[in-house]
Chains A and B, each alone.
Chain A
Amino acid sequence: MVRKAKVEFDEQPPDNFDPKNPYADPVAMLEYREHLVREKWIQIETAKIIRERLRWCYRIEGINHHQKCRHLVDQYLEATRGVGWGKDARPPELHEPKKIIEAE
């Protein structure tokens, strides 16, 4: 038996899962749950990558990091919204997706 050098997961949620009737297909429900966990892991790693880039930007730009790293700061703050485990105690404005202020 040759061991796999890489793991492959399906990037799409299961087709036959119905959120309104979860127990209609228990296998699809379990697959959907695993899919959610994988998506959460991807979000966590995305936030880590952006954080590392931001750290390097601060080090490279030096005193100019306020202006030159602004875009990375915004990106990182957006990447950490609702990401990670045990974030239910966070303030809602930081936890929930960012609400677009409609200019009237």
Chain B
Amino acid sequence: MRAMSSAVNGMLRARLRGAARVRGGGGEGAGRWTTPGHEERPKGYLFNRPPPPPGESRKWEDWELPCYVTSFLTVVILGVGLNAKPDLTIETWAHQKALERLQQQELAAADTQAE
């Protein structure tokens, strides 16, 4: 019993020493949860971008011009193209044919009545 208890105590002491070493090694005070360059608090800038100097406007980034041009063209092409698409469904064709046949029937009925 004494041998077992002494072994357990030895293991516990070793683990405690390791933990103390890890924590002590940080040194910066912030601990293990931070990395170099970590910011503790936000600066308050929208999109985290500092405002331009007074009198100047924001410069466009290199990806913005082609992105905006392409998006505009996409909207225009889809808006015009989908509206100009011809209606080739069977329902529309059948509707037109049904109207024509009904007109023919009405004309035939009128002719028979006239005669």
The SS class assigned to the B binding surface is: helix
Which residues in B have their C-beta under 8 angstroms from that of A43?
A: 98
A45 on the B face (CB < 8 A): yes
B42 on the A face (CB < 8 A): no
Q: Which of A43-61 contact B (CB under 8 A)?
A: 43-46, 48-50
The contact size tier of chain B is 10 to 19
A1-45 contact mask (Cβ, 8 Å, vs B): 1 or 0: 001111101010000000000000000000000000010011111
CB < 8 Å A-B pair total: 37
Give complex CA distance A6, B16 in Å: 85
Report 15 cross-chain contacts, Cβ distance below 8 Å, ordered by A residue.
Answer: A3-B86, A4-B88, A6-B86, A6-B88, A38-B90, A38-B94, A41-B93, A42-B94, A42-B97, A42-B101, A43-B98, A45-B98, A46-B101, A49-B98, A49-B102
